[in-house]
Amino acid sequence: MGLIGLSQWMIFIAVGAVGRSTVLYCGAKYVAVGELTFTVPVDIFCRMIFMYFRAKMVLDMLPEIIEMMKPADRVFSILESEPVTEPKKDDAPKPDIRDFLWNGKAFESKDARTGGMEFDLRDIKFAYPTMPEKVQLRGLSMTIPAGRTTALVGEAGCGKSTTFSLLQRVYDVHTGCGDVLLNGKPICHCK
């Protein structure tokens, strides 16, 4: 940035000096022959200096503007990345989630009266893919029984929304970082 910055300054100063000199020369020439009053070239000269300093301020802020644009690369890479939970073209077909529900045939419920979906989270360690250095869940284990109302309660940032996102398969748990089971089967095996 140093060499480019210096060359920009040299060009900027040279253009400014040529512009000011041209205004002074032409203004003095037209004032001498009586085509302009003295105030017109002075007004143009003052406006040029004002524009010169405004342009200088923009050039001074250019490194900060470039620094602010760096995170945009990360945002665009996230937007263009493929979701981990979406099926790929060569993946084997997965059973429908309705096959995991109790219907009297496909699934033997622990309590035939409730049916539904039972979630079992076992020793979950999870960090968001965009921030792998910040572990959000550390060793979370819990069971959400089928047919029951369960509440997740805690302070802000303790992992309530993250847990709910794992249950919805917005994110999948990495291999070896715990299991999310739906009616005893891994949730990643259903669509």
Task: Provide the pLDDT for residue 115.
Answer: 57
Fold for the domain defined by 97-189: Rossmann fold (3.40.50)
**3 state DSSP class of 181:** strand
The domain segmentation of the chain, as residue ranges, is 2-80, 97-189
How far is Cα 66 from Cα 60, in angstroms, rounded to an integer? 11
Q: What is the pTM of this model?
A: 0.45
Task: Provide the pLDDT for residue 3.
Answer: 64
How far is Cα 52 from Cα 171, in angstroms, rounded to an integer? 53
Where would I find the H helices in 34-159? 39-80
Q: Are 181 and 120 in contact (CB under 8 A)?
A: yes
Question: What does each of the 191 residues of the chain score in pLDDT, given as a tens digit?
Answer: 566 666 777 787 888 888 888 888 888 888 888 888 888 888 888 888 888 888 888 877 888 888 888 888 778 887 887 776 666 677 666 666 555 554 444 444 444 444 578 888 899 998 888 888 888 888 888 988 887 788 888 898 888 898 888 888 888 887 778 888 888 888 876 65
The residue among 176, 174, 116 whose CA lies nearest residue 150 is 116
C-alpha 176, offset from chain centre: 27
